Chain A
Amino acid sequence: MRRTTALAAAFLLMLLLTAVSLRFGAVAVPWRHIGETLLGRPNPSSFVVDKVRLPRIATAVLAGFGLAVSGVILQSLLRNPLASPDVVGVSKGAGFAAAAVLFLYPRAPAFALPAAAFAGAFAAFALLLTLSRRLRLGPAALALVGVAVGAVFQAGTQYLIVRHPTDINLALLWLTGSLWGRSWSHVLLLLPWIAALLPLAWSGFAKLNLLQLTDEVAVSLGLRIVRERLWLILLAVALAGIAVAAVGAIGFVGLVAPHMARRIVGSRHQWLIPLAALLGADLMLLGDVLGRVLIVPREVPVGIMSAVIGAPYFVYLLRKAKDAGARGRTGN
């Protein structure tokens, strides 16, 4: 019951944030114009609502879904609360590929950037696969190999930044993660992937429930552990890769949204995955709308805002976990 309530609340919050995002921004848009635009009637605000805010909202929601679910899968597989697309090197690989395009081929067409980012995410994954003996390593070692892979790509990105110190603005914006200029073509890029991968990820909940136990238990319960792990990580990489391709290397959402969800509904993935997805979308929407109204006419990139909102919560979580641990000991 509580879980259903949590899901409904997160969903309603998403609708509420969508409405707020449609209403507020650099330009005042009355509710009446929003309604008319949604009904397809021409009105003075239809451009801002239909061509700027709606695609931004849809991109934020879909990317939030992708990042959060990717984070859930990785945290459970690696049995590591710090795991996220960032930590296993996926976002770092995407970031390096995107920075390479921005710096070395500044005249590349606009679609080259998401394509390169997506390819970079999978390149990082391929490297992880090779270095971890096709994932036969234990979860902790796997996470560390991911960190190492990420560090190599991070170093590459930083080398590019140091080599081209004066035109780093575009690259820094991309590496932070931004929803500026995202249009319906970005939504169409994300939608088929997310629509296909999200149900697939959710249908793996039973395996994820087992895999977050120890390897021995999972094997004894009949799971072909290496193969399942490979398949699920591939899913996580694809989800994060496509999200990062569309909005840039946003790190924090994939780390924090799964934690929030785990706090509320526990570790059963049939509940965890949908709630984390909704919370990821909520975080993206909240970060974007705040970033758009804070310092008009400039914008604060959503990657910064989502970290600013997410970081205090993360600290709160850590403190709370410590308290619970202390209480548990005294209880004994």
Chain B
Amino acid sequence: MRWGVKKALAIALVCLWSVALAACGAAGNSNSGAGPAASSSSPSASAPSPSAASPQASAESASGPITMEDAVGTVTLQKVPERIVAMDFSFTDALATLDVQPVGIADDDDPGLFMDAVKSKLTNYQSVGSRYEPNIERISALQPDLIIVDINKHKNALEQLKGIAPLLILDDYEADYDQMIKNYRIIAKAVGKEAEGEKRLAEHQAIIDEAKAKLGGAKLTVLPAVVNPTGFFAHSEHSFSGSFLAMMGFDDPVKNETSYPQLSLEQLVETNPQALFLLPTDQKTIVDQWESNPLWKQIDAAANGKVFTVERRDWSLSRGLLGSEKMAADLVSALGA
């Protein structure tokens, strides 16, 4: 029984400790909510009340607050954001075309994943780590005034991120080409460059039209696919690159309801694409084995020498205007007359 009492005391101590920890946090919560805590200098994105406008913001808002609709609601920014964190390559692509320098980018800590056209525009940014679990501490240390996030990948951390800066929440996960254009307009507006954005979109359209003309309305079934040592992952018309090809007037040979169906060699032969764009992740891929298989030559693309290797960072990662224009250029150099 004596032991029992002792143990009960120990348990109580542990519980007390956990409660104390939680209470600390709760106390901190109420503090930063009521008082001018250092970290919450910017009004929250979801609830911008007039009373929240700090004197600093109203002094600088010569151009007035910016308002736009993102994937979850209305975002109001008191001034043009200057310190932006981009949580995926697609957002970085958009910012690069608008000559906006992000202070932080979730780049999986590998600058080699940027396409050249984007990397050449970046001067001074800090990596905030993984695109799936970006480093929240480092983001807060950058003291951003806008964070561009994805509605799906980052939903578990939205609450925390909102405490750092206003969020621009975009529907980017598995976005197709049209959705990307919509997101581009929202980003342009958010960084106070709506007019520049429209101008850039017009230029983009001209580049795309020119590429279409050079391709001469070739009616081909074209399949892009990420290939790694273990598998062949087709990009159907629901994926970004697939939807771009459809927009360019090519047909999707896979007709799958998912974005990235995995195909075996037999299935690939059955879909029989007339042109194949491989996006390898490694030096050696499964296609190296397939090429020695007699089935491979039955694919129209292989039989007619229309199997091309392009960069994954251009076709699959940088889902934006620059990425699309590179895809158009690759298509012209491969299939153009």
Stretch at the interface among A139-147, A193-201, A304-312, A318-326: A193-201
Q: B304 to chain A: which residues have CB within 8 Å?
A: none
Q: A113 to chain B: which residues have CB within 8 Å?
A: 156
Q: Does B137 contact A (CB under 8 A)?
A: yes
Q: B135 to chain A: which residues have CB within 8 Å?
A: 26, 296-299
Q: A296 to chain B: which residues have CB within 8 Å?
A: 129, 135, 138
* CB atoms of B39 and A274 under 8 A apart: no
**Contact bitstring A44-56, B, C-beta under 8 A = 1, else 0:** 1011101111110
Q: Point out the residue from A62, A180, A191, A278 that lies within 8 Å of B133, measured CB to CB.
A: A180
Q: Does B249 contact A (CB under 8 A)?
A: no
With A46-B39, A48-B140, A110-B158 known as contacts, the answer to whether A187 contacts B22 (CB < 8 A) is: yes
In terms of DSSP, what is the predominant structure of the interface of chain B? Answer: helix
Closest to A166 in B: B260
**Contact bitstring B1-26, A, C-beta under 8 A = 1, else 0:** 00110111011011100110110111
* CB atoms of A47 and B109 under 8 A apart: no
Q: Does A212 contact B (CB under 8 A)?
A: no
* CB atoms of A107 and B39 under 8 A apart: no
* CB atoms of B137 and A27 under 8 A apart: yes
Bound Cα distance from A194 to B152, whole angstroms:
29
* CB atoms of A26 and B138 under 8 A apart: yes
Q: Point out the residue from B6, B7, B13, B138 that lies within 8 Å of A27, measured CB to CB.
A: B138
**When A and B form their complex, what is the total count of cross-chain residue pairs whose Cβ atoms lie within 8 Å?**
176
Bound Cα distance from A167 to B152, whole angstroms:
12
* CB atoms of A58 and B22 under 8 A apart: yes
* CB atoms of A42 and B159 under 8 A apart: no
B42–chain A nearest beta-carbon distance, Å:
12
* CB atoms of A270 and B3 under 8 A apart: yes
* CB atoms of B109 and A298 under 8 A apart: yes
* CB atoms of A166 and B233 under 8 A apart: yes
Q: A167 to chain B: which residues have CB within 8 Å?
A: 173-174, 260
* CB atoms of B164 and A47 under 8 A apart: yes
Bound Cα distance from A277 to B13, whole angstroms:
13
Bound Cα distance from A270 to B146, whole angstroms:
52
B261–chain A nearest beta-carbon distance, Å:
9
Q: A277 to chain B: which residues have CB within 8 Å?
A: 14
Bound Cα distance from A169 to B108, whole angstroms:
13
Q: A26 to chain B: which residues have CB within 8 Å?
A: 129, 135, 137-138, 141
* CB atoms of B7 and A299 under 8 A apart: no
**What class of interface size applies to chain B in its complex with A?**
35 or more
**What class of interface size applies to chain A in its complex with B?**
35 or more
Q: Does A25 contact B (CB under 8 A)?
A: yes
Q: Does B50 contact A (CB under 8 A)?
A: no
Q: A25 to chain B: which residues have CB within 8 Å?
A: 137
Closest to A43 in B: B38
Bound Cα distance from A187 to B1, whole angstroms:
33
Q: Does A214 contact B (CB under 8 A)?
A: no
Q: B140 to chain A: which residues have CB within 8 Å?
A: 27, 47-48, 52
**Contact bitstring B148-181, A, C-beta under 8 A = 1, else 0:** 0001111111111001100000000110000000
**Contact bitstring A162-179, B, C-beta under 8 A = 1, else 0:** 111111011001000010
Bound Cα distance from A278 to B14, whole angstroms:
9
Q: Does B27 contact A (CB under 8 A)?
A: yes
**Contact bitstring A18-34, B, C-beta under 8 A = 1, else 0:** 10000001110000000
Q: Does A314 contact B (CB under 8 A)?
A: no
Q: Does B262 contact A (CB under 8 A)?
A: yes
Closest to A14 in B: B17
* CB atoms of A202 and B11 under 8 A apart: yes
With A26-B135, A47-B164 known as contacts, the answer to whether A191 contacts B260 (CB < 8 A) is: no
Q: A205 to chain B: which residues have CB within 8 Å?
A: 7
Q: A61 to chain B: which residues have CB within 8 Å?
A: 18, 21
A111–chain B nearest beta-carbon distance, Å:
10
A239–chain B nearest beta-carbon distance, Å:
14
Bound Cα distance from A16 to B29, whole angstroms:
24
Q: Does A80 contact B (CB under 8 A)?
A: no
Q: Other than A52-B137, A61-B18, A299-B133, give 17 A-B pairs with Cβ distance below 8 A.
A: A27-B137, A42-B37, A52-B140, A54-B24, A110-B158, A165-B260, A166-B233, A167-B174, A170-B152, A181-B154, A183-B159, A187-B21, A191-B22, A195-B18, A205-B7, A270-B7, A298-B130
Contacts A/B (CB < 8 Å), 5 sampled = A50-B28, A180-B136, A183-B159, A191-B22, A274-B14
**Residues in chain A within 8 A of chain B (CB atoms):** 4, 7, 11, 18, 25-27, 37-38, 40, 42-44, 46-48, 50-55, 57-58, 61-62, 65, 106-107, 109-110, 113, 162-167, 169-170, 173, 178, 180-181, 183-185, 187-188, 191, 194-195, 198-199, 202, 205, 270-271, 274, 277-278, 295-299, 301
Cβ-closest 3 pairs across A and B: A47-B39, A181-B157, A297-B129
